[in-house]
Amino acid sequence: MNHIMQNELSENTKAMLMLTHYFNRSDRSACKPLTDNGFGYLAHWMAANQFQPQDLLDNDRLESFFVEFGDEATHFASKNALSGSMRGLDKTVLEMTKERFQSLLSRGMALSQALEKWQSAGIWIISRADKTYPVQIKYGLREKAPAILFGTGNIDLLNFKGVGFVGSRNCGATDESATITYVDDINQHGLQVVSGAAKGVDSIAMHRSMSNGSNSIGILGDSLFKACGDSQWRSYLKSGQLLLLSPFDPEASFGRGQNAMQRNKYIYFLSEAVVAVCSGLEGGTFNGVKENLIANWCPQYISRHDSPNLAGNEEILNGFPSSKTKVKVLTQANSITPMDSLSSALGVVGETESNSTDTAINIKLDDDSPTPNTTSLSEEELALSASEGLQESSHNDDANSMANIHPAFCGSETLAFFYFDLLDLFRAKQTNDASHASLSEADILKGLHVLVDIIGKAAVTKLVSHFQSHELLIRPGRAKIYQIVDIEK
């Protein structure tokens, strides 16, 4: 059983850590780590220009990097490939200054101290270049996959099939009973639990699975460092029945950067199917289900049982009738009751073992997706494999989700991305309230010059006219000066 990861990190992983994470409180005022989008773009650019993250730790290669990264011509291929899937790409790249890179890469001592602290608590680290990085996340998010994942416990559990469980923190006795019934069923067929390790349905499902002799994976949105010493998990971490995983800083506080909401997608990526036990009409469970139905990450089951906590369940099963805008889903949710056999609904066959380590996972990739290598992937190979097929498969998860937020998008991810690029442009001028900013047509064309280079000025002005006709861009007078309606407010 391999539940202690590598003691020595590769130079690539060290560089990725310094580029994407804080290490202490003083860091937060001294530097600004790259976002997932930012690092995803950098990885793509590096692959196109024969660099690796570890090159930034070598003074000579670092100087060469600064020279080439500062040359606009070297960015054309990456911007062309990624502009359709990354909002505000121009602004993201513009903010990758030499000074920012230097402030991030000068933290070698802080990195060493953080690693010592984290590893003493049992936390291990994997990067996108490691063969142990979950292929489901890598291909679900492609270039937006987190550069680094932190974990503690048995990493081998990533190789076995599981069912996700999500639901309210404030669940009642009948919700708990339904959760236990579903978990007992899947455990008897060799499936483990994947959940969020939070109070309520999450922890009920995880604890039941492990008390049954099976396993659990918990995706944390905060405080992995604190969880390592939590008495509720300690014995299961030692027995190898538990894996706690997080894409966020081990010492991050709950809610920072919408971590609690963002972690939902990782539960779906690592599950064969997900059961929503009880949901309100808003919040993480409800929004996570909606995201899944829009993107079709995995089969979605909605519990129907005797409970006062199922308002969200009914809203989902009825097709979101109360939604202000039409929710355009790629798949429908399935209803399930504790009287039904969840394992039969999932089509589970074979041995009825209580320990899910007897059930190996077969990763379901698209026909044109490469099978993961048994050797460690280089960052260049990873960036290239992530970008291959991007043009052919533009219906990525974020695009599918965003394309249905507003009727003006007409279900088109292209229109959605254009609107949000516009919104970023207006926000850059007026950071407090984008709707109070005004931009001329010339300002818009200048701010979106990369898109103009790709599709032409006439096409961009036509898109501007489209959003004006749908009243998301307001033209107060005769002059071509616009204000934007911020749909995220």
Whole-angstrom distance, CA of residue 152 vs CA of residue 325: 41
Going by DSSP bridges, is the β-strand pair 300-303/192-195 parallel, antiparallel, or unpaired? unpaired
pTM over 0.85: no
Contact 414, 84 (CB under 8 A): yes
Over range 333-352, report the average pLDDT: 83
* Phi, psi of 160, rounded to the nearest 5 degrees: -120, 150
Chosen CATH of 161-358 out of 3.30.70.360, 3.20.20.370, 3.40.50.450, 3.40.50.1970: 3.40.50.450
pLDDT at 53 over 90: yes
pLDDT digits (tens, 9 = 90+) for 107-158: 999 999 999 999 999 999 999 988 899 989 988 888 899 999 999 999 999 9
Over range 431-435, report the average pLDDT: 61
Q: Residue 129: name the closest of 149, 109, 110 by CA.
A: 149
pLDDT at 480 over 70: yes
pLDDT at 346 over 80: yes
The pLDDT, as a whole number, for residue 466 is: 92
The pLDDT, as a whole number, for residue 2 is: 45
pLDDT digits (tens, 9 = 90+) for 11-34: 999 999 999 999 988 888 889 999
pLDDT at 45 over 80: yes
Tokens of 385: 């494999």
The pLDDT, as a whole number, for residue 377 is: 39
**pLDDT bracket for residue 460 (50, 70, 90):** confident
pLDDT > 70 fraction of the chain, expressed in percent and rounded: 83
* Phi, psi of 92, rounded to the nearest 5 degrees: -60, -45
**pLDDT bracket for residue 430 (50, 70, 90):** low
pLDDT at 366 over 50: no
The pLDDT, as a whole number, for residue 1 is: 42
Tokens of 70: 């500062």
Chain centre distance of CA 417: 17
Contact 66, 101 (CB under 8 A): yes
Over range 434-443, report the average pLDDT: 83
Order across the sheet with 439-440: list the strands: 439-440, 481-484, 473-474
Structurally, what CATH architecture does the domain formed by 405-484 represent? Orthogonal Bundle (1.10)
pLDDT digits (tens, 9 = 90+) for 265-323: 999 999 999 999 999 998 889 999 999 999 999 999 999 999 999 999 999 999 999 98
CATH 1.10.10 domain locations along the chain: 405-484
Q: In this predicted model, which residue has the larger pLDDT, 131 or 94?
A: 94
Over range 455-472, report the average pLDDT: 87
pLDDT digits (tens, 9 = 90+) for 376-396: 334 434 443 333 333 333 334
Q: Match 């290669």 to its residue by tokens.
A: 61
Burial class (CB in 10 A: 0-12, 13-18, 19+), 444: buried
Contact 278, 309 (CB under 8 A): yes
Among the residue ranges 64-68, 272-276, 359-363, the one predicted with the least confidence is: 359-363
- Highest-confidence segment of 5-9, 11-15, 431-435: 11-15
Q: Which residues contact 441 (CB under 8 A, 6 or more apart)?
A: 461, 464, 480, 481, 482
**pLDDT bracket for residue 403 (50, 70, 90):** low
